[in-house]
Amino acid sequence: MITLSISKFTLKLNGLATASRLITLLFILPIILGLVGTLLPAFDFLPALSHYQFSLKPWFSLFESPELWGSIKLTLLSGLLASFISFVIAFATISVFYESRWLISIRNTLAPILAIPHAAIAIGLVFILSPSGWIVRLLSPWLTDYERPPTWISVQDPYGLSLVLALVVKETPYLLFVILASLEQIKTCELIKVGTSMGYARIAVWRKVILPILYPLIRLPLLVILAFSLTVVDLSLVIGPNTPSTFAVTLFHWFNDTDLDMRFTASAGAVLLMFIILLSALCWEALYQIFVLFDRRRWCNGKRTSLLTPIFHGAAFTYLVSMLLAVLSLIVLPIWTFTHRWRFPDILPTSWSFKKIEQLAPLLFELACVSLVIAFASTLLALCISILMLEQKRTLPNSTRWFDRFIYLPIILPQVGFLFGIQVFLIWSNNSGSLLAVIGLHLLYVLPYVYLTLSGPYLAFNQSFYRQAVCLTKRPWHSFLQVKLAMLKPALFSAFALGIAVSFAQYLPTLTAGEGRINTLTTEAVALAASGERKKVGNMAMLQALFPLIIFMLAQWLPRVWTQYRLKLAKMITHK
Amino acid sequence: MLKVKDCHLSIAGTPLVSELSFEIDNGQVLTLMGPSGCGKSSLLNYLSGTLETGFEAKGCIELNQKRIDTLCTQNRNVGILYQTPLLFPHMTNLENLLFAIDAKQQGLTSANKKKLAMSKLAELGLETKANNLPNSLSGGQQARIALLRTLLSSPDYLLLDEPFSKLDPELRQSVRRFTLEQIQKANIPTLLVTHDEDDFTAMGGELIQMQNLSNHF
């Protein structure tokens, strides 16, 4: 009997190991195909377009392009500036508000802001910051004398400053989230007490003690933000500069050029963009090390006060302003949705109407359904895969090392180049334009976030509960579902909500795999953003923001009331 | 001398500590013992000025006849030691000690400051490890350096929150002895919170046995 159960157990473990290997392979394969599919055309090799010989032509064509250097300059400026400002604001905010009531309020606002897709926030910001936007309306005509919108350029400005602002508004909450999670790994409260008890000002303790300990823990998320800021397409299309645009947007236009030869130049550009990311990451890290080298002397100079205190307070205040902008940009979306007439400089519409939303209802319903189907399918798949991989990792920690290494790649690699490589494969395998392909590509981006969110709580789960349940019931699957997964409900719900939000935000993966035949709220909203049809765009962006927000709120609320409602239901059934 | 008068601590209306008064002379150690949840750590936080939001405190703390409970932690000149040594992992052992010295207040030049820190390391026989990171030290060595670091900031009183509980039983005795020596040398009042009666025996002084919701001397 004992032999039998041991062999059964070994069989199950082997099954799990095989499944995890297969998943790793299926996850790594598209990444490699994407990379190869971009790298080969960069050297003029693409049999599908009858290019069979390697050459450097795409590179010559790339370097001859008049847009190149302007695009790269803008990309570096906006990407590095946005990442640096987000980091400074996030760190200063935590330093100033840590252990205060304010931090609880800040923490509570993080999830909703994180849930809302970048494009929706960007569209809202355009509605607020543009010359005919809310801010100018609020100040006109009593302060500005403007009876008509001014002619200045406050969004899509040539320096990319509005893009930097949009990135900061969206990335700072993510960094705050990451920093708060990392601070739980170090004895932050005690370290602050030790420092302040020696007479150091709080900000001095944060700079001299906490920052050097914290930085290694948030290095990877910072690099993810840097890579994202350098390569983002949808946000740049909505609020970024046009002539020239950022390099990722330029590449996006080249990839979609009717002249197929531009795809070779675009591929070379995508490879160059990868080098730019790598170089920027190295520069970022080198600058930090240089900063540490000079700052090290100040760590133990004994000075208890910090001259940076007012700067930290200013940066923390900036966070509150950026959150106000985010909230306003979300409020303005439904306002435009129900607007009939809204002339400048009126603060609110003079007449309201359901006409536009009625007209758009069939389209919105269709787009919402497609978005939800893709989001639910990719997130549920991601959850199942994550649970399976984490179960395997718990059993044999080393067995998922390849998966763990590759999981970050889709987030770090520039979507614009890497996805073109996958598109080549999708066309070759006759899968391009199918719903399945879109779900598959969304999964590539949803899985890393779901896996990373779930891994901490899943691996920290006290396995004794499960073992106890198996001993009592003799039913491993029942125990797994009724005890382990039930106890991990809050983490599972959070990971699910995050997965939905990530899927809703995907623009390029949907365009690449869907080939324009499958549209979501995000692809339509971004495509219409430049059209000037504010009512239509407002509708799309509002729904784009609304669904992830509802699911995030449900994910926070449901685990809290689940047991309470389950017990009430059980009581009702027993009474009957 | 550290004097606590009529200390009341409560959280959300639930009393944790009531009518607690005690005095600690310079160079003396007062030990605080009691079951979990009786308010030992909260009392320590009250004394260090780090009581978390939600707690309510009444009473008076006097240090050398000056009221200090209205001051923030930064201005109380208090030394705190926890279960873990909390040596800053990004600084060398020497830098950890230098961090604590306020050269301006103590009238030291930067060369003298370094000399002072090195002499403290030499007391422990660790001068060769001055430029190493704290993770190169054993648990006992880390505990000793943490104590020296705290004392180098010239605190007016010392709060010890179970500082020996994470040490091996063999190490514990020698670290206790070292701690008592240093406290007597610094001649400052010290409050020790512990679960271990041996700590009280080793450190001498008086004992307050706390209980949930009430205190008995």
pLDDT tens for each residue of B122-136? 988 999 999 999 999
CB A123 within 8 A of CB A326: no
Q: Are residues B68 and B17 in the same domain?
A: yes
Q: Are residues A181 and A124 in the same domain?
A: yes
What are the pLDDT digits (tens) for B55-81?
889 999 999 999 999 998 888 999 999
Contact yes or no for A191 and B88 at CB 8 A:
yes
Å between B82 CA and nearest CA of chain A: 8
Q: What is the pLDDT of residue A42?
A: 94
Q: Are residues A347 and A361 in the same domain?
A: no
Q: Are residues B148 and B199 in the same domain?
A: no
Q: Are residues A15 and A134 in the same domain?
A: no
Contact yes or no for A300 and B91 at CB 8 A:
yes
Q: Please tell me which of the candidates B50, B53, B73 has its beta carbon nearest to residue A101.
A: B53
Burial of A356-365, coded b for 16+ CB within 10 Å and e otherwise, reads: bbeebeeebe
CA A538/CA A536 separation, integer angstroms: 5
Q: What is the pLDDT of residue B36?
A: 83
Q: Please tell me which of the candidates A199, A202, A300 has its beta carbon nearest to residue B98.
A: A300
Residues of chain A in contact with residue B75, where contact means CB-CB under 8 angstroms, are 199
Å between B154 CA and nearest CA of chain A: 8
Q: What is the pLDDT of residue A14?
A: 65
Residues of chain A in contact with residue B82, where contact means CB-CB under 8 angstroms, are 187, 190, 194
Å between B11 CA and nearest CA of chain A: 16
Contact yes or no for A187 and B80 at CB 8 A:
no
pLDDT per residue rounded down to tens, chain A (576 residues): 333 444 444 445 567 888 888 999 998 898 898 999 899 999 999 888 888 999 999 999 999 999 999 999 999 999 999 999 999 999 999 999 998 888 999 998 888 888 899 999 999 999 999 998 999 999 988 888 888 888 888 889 999 999 999 999 999 999 999 999 899 888 899 999 999 999 999 999 999 999 999 999 999 889 999 999 999 999 999 999 988 999 999 999 999 899 989 999 999 999 999 999 999 999 999 999 999 999 888 888 888 888 889 999 999 999 999 999 999 999 999 898 888 898 988 989 999 888 888 888 999 999 999 999 999 999 999 999 999 999 999 988 888 888 888 888 888 888 887 888 898 888 888 888 899 999 999 999 999 999 988 998 999 999 889 988 888 878 888 899 989 999 999 999 999 999 999 999 999 999 999 988 999 999 999 998 877 788 888 888 999 999 999 999 999 888 888 877 877 887 788 776
Nearest CA in chain B to A209: B88
Residues of chain A in contact with residue B48, where contact means CB-CB under 8 angstroms, are 193, 197
Domain end, chosen from B113, B130, B154, is at: B154
Six-digit token string for A370: 């497609």
- Structural domain including B125 reads 85-154
Task: Check CB contact of B101 with chain A, cutoff 8 Å.
Answer: yes
- Residue B43 maps to which CATH number? 3.40.50.300
Q: Does A65 reside within a domain?
A: no
Q: Are residues B148 and B90 in the same domain?
A: yes
Longest dimension (CA), chain B: 53
Q: Please tell me which of the candidates B48, B77, B110 has its beta carbon nearest to residue A199.
A: B77
Q: Does A511 reside within a domain?
A: yes
Q: How many domains does chain A have?
A: 2
CA A420/CA A38 separation, integer angstroms: 6
Q: Are residues B114 and B217 in the same domain?
A: no
Whether B217 has a pLDDT exceeding 50, the answer reads: no
Q: Are residues A173 and A42 in the same domain?
A: no
Contact yes or no for B88 and A213 at CB 8 A:
yes
Reduced to 3 states, what is the DSSP secondary structure of residue A259? Answer: coil
Q: Are residues B125 and B71 in the same domain?
A: no
Q: Are residues B217 and B183 in the same domain?
A: yes
Task: Check CB contact of B50 with chain A, cutoff 8 Å.
Answer: yes
Q: Does A286 reside within a domain?
A: no
Longest dimension (CA), chain A: 90
Six-digit token string for A86: 């987000």
CA A183/CA A172 separation, integer angstroms: 16
Domain end, chosen from B154, B181, B202, is at: B154
Å between A456 CA and nearest CA of chain B: 23
Q: What is the pLDDT of residue A576?
A: 63
Give the residues across from B158 on adjacent strands.
Answer: B79, B190
Q: Kindly report the backbone phi and psi dihedral angles of residue B3, in degrees, each rounded to the nearest multiple of 5, phi listed first.
A: -125, 130
Contact yes or no for B104 and A194 at CB 8 A:
no
Q: Are residues B89 and B71 in the same domain?
A: no
Task: Check CB contact of B123 with chain A, cutoff 8 Å.
Answer: no
Residues of chain B in contact with residue A193, where contact means CB-CB under 8 angstroms, are 48, 50, 73, 80
Q: How many helices (H) and strands (E) does chain A have?
A: 26, 2
Domain end, chosen from B111, B135, B154, is at: B154
Counting one residue from chain A and one from chain B, the pairs whose CB atoms sit within 8 A come to 75
Q: Are residues B143 and B132 in the same domain?
A: yes
Q: Please tell me which of the candidates B74, B82, B113 has its beta carbon nearest to residue A302.
A: B113
CA A376/CA A382 separation, integer angstroms: 10
Q: Are residues A21 and A99 in the same domain?
A: no
Whether B211 has a pLDDT exceeding 90, the answer reads: no
**Exposure on the CB side of residue B155, measured as CA atoms within 13 A:** 32
Å between A315 CA and nearest CA of chain B: 23
Whether B28 has a pLDDT exceeding 90, the answer reads: yes
Residues of chain B in contact with residue A205, where contact means CB-CB under 8 angstroms, are none
Q: Are residues A321 and A430 in the same domain?
A: no
- Structural domain including A197 reads 82-245+306-353
Q: Are residues A533 and A394 in the same domain?
A: yes
- Residue A311 maps to which CATH number? 1.10.3720.10
Residues of chain A in contact with residue B103, where contact means CB-CB under 8 angstroms, are 302
Rounded to the nearest angstrom, the gap between the alpha carbon of residue A283 and the centroid of all alpha carbons in its chain is 23
Domain end, chosen from A290, A318, A353, is at: A353
Q: Are residues B72 and B3 in the same domain?
A: yes
Residues of chain A in contact with residue B79, where contact means CB-CB under 8 angstroms, are 197-198
Q: Are residues B73 and B6 in the same domain?
A: yes
Q: Are residues A33 and A134 in the same domain?
A: no
Q: Are residues B93 and B148 in the same domain?
A: yes
Cα A265 to Cα A43, A57, A74, A121, A234, distances in angstroms: 9, 8, 19, 32, 21
Q: Please tell me which of the candidates B52, B74, B96 has its beta carbon nearest to residue A201.
A: B74
Q: Are residues B3 and B40 in the same domain?
A: yes
Q: How many domains does chain B have?
A: 2
Q: Please tell me which of the candidates A196, A201, A299 has its beta carbon nearest to residue B99.
A: A299
CB A301 within 8 A of CB A196: no
